Amino acid sequence: MDDSDEFRDPVEMLGEEFVQRLREGEQPSISEYVAANPDHAAEIRSLFGTLMALEDLKSHHDEGHWPASSDESSEQLPETIGDFHVLEMIGRGGMGIVYEAEQESLGRTVAIKVLIDHFSDSPQAVRRFRREAQAAARLQHPNIVAVFGVGQWERKHYYAMQFIPGRSLDRILSELNALRTDVQSEFVTESGSKTNVDDELAAEIAVALKQGRFEPSLAAKKVNGSSADSVSSSTSPTVAGPSDSATFIGAASSGEERDFAAVRLNRDYWRSVAGIGVQAANALHYAHQQGVLHRDIKPGNLMLDNTGRAWLMDFGLAKLLDEADLTTPGDVVGTLRYMAPEQLEGRATTQTDIYGLGLTLYEMLTLRPAFDRAEHYAALLKLKTTTTPPLPRSINRQIPADLQTIVLKAISPDPDHRYATAHEFEQDLQRYLDDIPIRARRTSSWEHARRWCRRNPAIAALTTSTLLLLVIGCFAAVFGYLHESKLRASAETESSRAEANLGLAAEAFDTIFRRVGVQSPSRSLADSASASELGELPTPRLSNNDVQILEGLLSFYDRFAEANGDSRRWQYESALAYRKVGEIQQRLGRAHRAQAAFERAIDLLKQIPSLEDATQSPPQLEMASIYQQLGDLAMAADQFDVAYQRFDQASAIIRDGDGDWRQSPEAQHQLAQAYSAMAKANVFGQVIPLSTTGAPVDAEPARKLLAQSIEILERLVEDDPKSGDYRLALARSWEDLGGMMHFSQQGEISSNHVNQAIALLEELVEEFPHEAEYRRALAWTYAHAAEFTPQDLNREPLDLLQSSRELLVDMPPEFAEQPETQEILARISQHLAERRLDAHQLDDVDKLLAESRQAISKLAEDFPYTKRYQFGLARNCYLQAIVAYERGELDRASGDLEECLANCNLDSDDPIPGFLIQMAAQAQRGLNSIQTKLGNNQRAEHAAREEALLEQRLEQTQVPPPPTPLRNDPWRIDRSAHGKSPSSQP
């Protein structure tokens, strides 16, 4: 056992062993670990089940079976992105896709990097993406890929850069290793892929590199003599030397040149490696002078073009020294295999980049990774902080000793022992190329002392005795100090390792969450459903196993946050994790579990006064957002007073808080949403007590709140007119104001506001015709507007419903199949059926109801906890009963009403929303009427008694009335005349 293991949690050590056995193909039993460690049985059962699930998910991912998100599964290339005509996809990273494109206005070929869609709604991801472009754009150097511009088009964030006809070094190294014969070893790239890359250009560059056809001395002189002004915007850059690139790689395409049997790594290859190092180090030194740290130097981020020029690219993790960092202090950022030891502790300097370049050159010399155990993260963390990789010459004796010395100095675990600057690194590589002594090989202090003793033997003898006494006198104190230092260093090492392991756990958590995350559809006061619909979010298609895995991962956060109570970062990360699980529980309709997760997140955030990271939302803003979600839960349960309090808490945090963050667009956007939500809760809170008399709602408080929301959003739109998100939010606020006025019986004013919402959304759809979210929002608003009178909107309801349907039919499959889209389509079909019923046009009602039933049945089956899907199915059966009753088919109508009651599921242990009780009461009234006509008096009396019981429950239940009730409803009662609440048909 390692001495430092005494500091480690025994369950963590057992967990690492368990995972290792799984990865080696064994099938270890959790029960055997429980039996062997009874004191930790509960923790082992909880943790190991999660570890096994994660390893199972990982294995599916590695085999290509991971369910792709809509962004990842779509193969369709965008035709245009602003001024750029897209030609083909040439690469994909964790957050962005790179396309080859033609800039039509200038007629030049460029590369376009586009932020993946599901990151577009993350302000932090957008800021990181823009910072990447800004960091690269401020660098004008012949070995750094030039950035031409940054922009946004149809919610797609992108930046255009120089197109380089080349390949990344990791692909070239794969090709070199696959074809060489002098050292038999398997090369695995940083992404985990094996060699054998079928890439003709990579192979041709590899041949030219091996045969020394890229003249390093000329390339180095070109770099050293260049300036920022010398950079060309040409898309086919060259280095000094023969102008015809065929001189470099033209012959490499022939069959015999591709045969490496006779080719060995030789002096030409070593010089090529050094020449690439000179170019890369020169580019790094320039970047450092401009105040930019790259922080992710590795073969995958260095490109070699078809002329031998090296290109530094991908500044996604770059840090601008003169601006705020984009990561929390102490964050572990970078690619683990190429991280410097100090990066594992969350620190990065210019020497961190030198370390990454040193490891890259090590890999080029040996054609194998310096640390080839990336899959064993904990072991790798310990290895990199205590030792260096094998000597390059122990792998291949042909490697020049000077090159080995240079590389080993660059990758020293201690930053103080590396080159002080990238310029010094470059100069030593250039000395090797020029065949002059390098500076890295210095005489050691011990060698200096030994030579001095030979020159002065007498003095040395006297000094030796004195030193011996001194050493003996200090030995005890030194021994004690070293022992304490060792213990302290071991503890710090384990702390760093734990931080890094938790970073990996956080990344896994986010990956799984993104897999199941979807966007929210529009919700408004004009919705014909009850208030419970307004608060619920759309539900992704995910399994209970997914949720169990996420809940299991929370144990990692809890244990780490408890052990590191003074770490703001992990308190914050834990809070975000609970919020994400709460969101999924909310989408599954599990209100109590969602509420518990949200409240736990708030408790954690309250313990964090502030964060220094400018890219993370302030804890106060996160709390405001979570209070908003708690209010949504209360709205879903028809608890309008509670909902109003939660929304008010959200607004107060921003309105009454301290700090400049309150004026940020994100905070103001959140404040506008809180005001809008407060208005909804206020209106619905009034609807219920006033429904017994039919008196109008006092709309003034809600109107003022919505006016504040609209004022904020209009200001945000004015400041950022290209932001579709702010315009979408503004349209929804206008729609909410229209719905509120509709409830207060101010039809003309209400329709004016809805018309404004429609106009805004129609502009968005016209401006961004391919943006599915805008099309869906407009379709939803059309469906709501169909409930208003034609005179107010100057459009027939059937026309609006048909327009809504057309907007959804042409949506991409990945959006059309999402639950919220299917729900809108189901409701449109149902609305059309209701219009036919009101007009006594029964010809195609059956078809429309069947379409609606097919969609809503699938949703109710997939998400049994979601009450509005239950209501949708019950409502469908109720309408079918009306159709059968109109046709005189009483037995069928009775059966449909029985099925309606079954779908209301009033026997459930969960809280029953008022709109389901209302639906059941109307169904019982219908059964009473039908059974009376059929002469079944006993069944009719039973239905009458059940209806009376339900009416009593309704007196204590909040049920808002519908904007427009179905007129041709034989069982609808005008209860206002009897002093009872009016019937509600959500």
Task: Name every residue whose Cβ is closer than 8 Å to that of residue 360 and which is 6 or more positions away in sequence.
Answer: 169, 280, 297, 298, 299, 302, 338
Judging by DSSP bridges, how do beta strands 108-115 and 292-293 pair with one another? Answer: unpaired
- pLDDT over threshold 60, residue 540: no
Q: Which of 434, 541, 676 is CA-nearest to residue 68?
A: 541
| Residue 57 predicted with pLDDT over 50 | no
| pLDDT for 17 beyond 70 | yes
Mapping DSSP to helix (H, G, I), strand (E, B) and coil, where does residue 545 land? helix
Q: What is the pLDDT of residue 380?
A: 47
Summarize pLDDT for 397-411 with one digit per residue, the tens: 899 999 999 999 999
pLDDT for residue 303 = 92
> Please, which residues have CB within 8 angstroms of residue 469's CB and are 6 or more apart in sequence?
none
Pick the residue with more confidence: 320 or 649? 649
pLDDT digits (tens, 9 = 90+) for 63-84: 333 333 334 444 467 888 888 9
Handedness of CA 197, 201, 202, 203 (dihedral sign): positive
pLDDT for residue 232: 31
In whole angstroms, give the CA distance from residue 4 to residue 942.
75
Residue pair 340/173 in contact by the 8 Å Cβ criterion: no
Measured between alpha carbons, how far is 830 from 715 in angstroms, rounded to an integer? 38
Name the pLDDT band for 981 (thresholds 50, 70, 90).
very low
User: What is the mean pLDDT of the segment spanning 628-641?
Assistant: 85
Binding site residues for ATP, as ranges?
113
| Percent of the chain scoring above 90 in pLDDT | 23
Distance CA 220, CA 779 (A): 61
CA 186 → CA 177, 368, 533, 861, 862, distances in Å? 7, 8, 57, 49, 46
DSSP string for residues in 22-40: HHTT----HHHHHHH-GGG
CA 64 from centroid of its chain's CA atoms: 20
Strands 108-115 and 96-103, by their bridges, are antiparallel
| Ranges of H-type helices in 839-964 | 845-862, 867-886, 890-904, 914-934, 937-955
Q: Which of 123-137, 329-343, 476-490 shows the highest mean pLDDT?
A: 123-137
The CB density around residue 228, as the number of other CB atoms within 10 Å, is 12
Q: How many whole angstroms separate alpha carbon 624 and alpha carbon 626?
A: 5
Question: 600 near 561, Cβ under 8 Å?
Answer: no
**Which range has highest mean pLDDT (338-342, 466-470, 598-602, 960-964)?**
598-602
* Average pLDDT taken over every residue of the chain: 73
* Domain limits, the chain: 3-62, 70-162, 166-441, 462-502, 818-986
Phi/psi of residue 713, nearest 5 degrees = -65, -35
Whether residue 463 has pLDDT greater than 90: no
Q: Give the pLDDT mean for 729-753.
A: 74
Report pLDDT for 375: 40
- Amino acid present at 678: M
Average pLDDT over residues 410-426: 93
Q: Which residues are annotated as part of the binding site?
A: 113
| pLDDT beyond 70 at 713 | yes
DSSP state of 153: E
Q: What pLDDT is stored for residue 421 in this prediction?
A: 96
* Mutual angle of helices 724-743 and 772-785, in 10-degree steps: 10
- pLDDT of 201 strictly over 70: yes
Does 660 have pLDDT greater than 50?
yes
The domain covering 818-986 belongs, at the CATH homologous superfamily level, to Tetratricopeptide repeat domain (1.25.40.10)
Percentage of the chain lying above the pLDDT 70 cut = 63
pLDDT given at position 914: 75
> What three-state secondary structure class fits 679?
helix
Mean pLDDT value of segment 665-672: 90
Query: What pLDDT is stored for residue 793 in this prediction?
Result: 64
At residue 415, does pLDDT exceed 60? yes
Q: Which of 533, 785, 831 is nearest to 684 (CA)?
A: 533
pLDDT bin (cut points 50, 70, 90) of residue 366 is very high
Q: Give pLDDT tens digits for 104-127.
A: 888 899 999 998 877 777 776 787
CATH architecture group of domain 166-441: Orthogonal Bundle (1.10)
Tens digits of residue pLDDT in 222-235: 444 443 333 333 33
Average of per-residue pLDDT across 174-202:
56
Give me the architecture of the 70-162 domain, per CATH.
2-Layer Sandwich (3.30)
Backbone φ, ψ for residue 103 (5° rounding): -80, 105
pLDDT at 982: 32
Q: What is the mean pLDDT of residues 475-498?
A: 52
Looking at residue 837, its pLDDT comes to 86
Q: What integer pLDDT is reported at residue 816 of this predicted model?
A: 76
Task: Name every residue whose Cβ is closer than 8 Å to that of residue 968 and which is 6 or more positions away in sequence.
Answer: 837, 838, 840, 882, 886
Of 832, 795, 681, which Cα lies nearest the Cα of 743? 681
Region 207-222: what's the mean pLDDT? 64
User: Strands 147-153 and 156-162: what pairing?
Assistant: antiparallel
Query: Can you give the length of the chain in residues?
Result: 986
| Confidence (pLDDT) at 361 | 97
The more confidently predicted of residues 268 and 954 is 268
Residue 669 has pLDDT above 70, yes or no: yes
d(CA 551, CA 225): 58
Arithmetic mean of pLDDT, 933-953 = 91
pLDDT in tens, 848-866: 999 899 888 888 887 776 7
Given a contact cutoff of 8 angstroms between Cβ atoms, the answer to whether 612 and 572 are in contact is no
Name residue 21's amino acid.
R
pLDDT band (50, 70, 90) for residue 469: very low
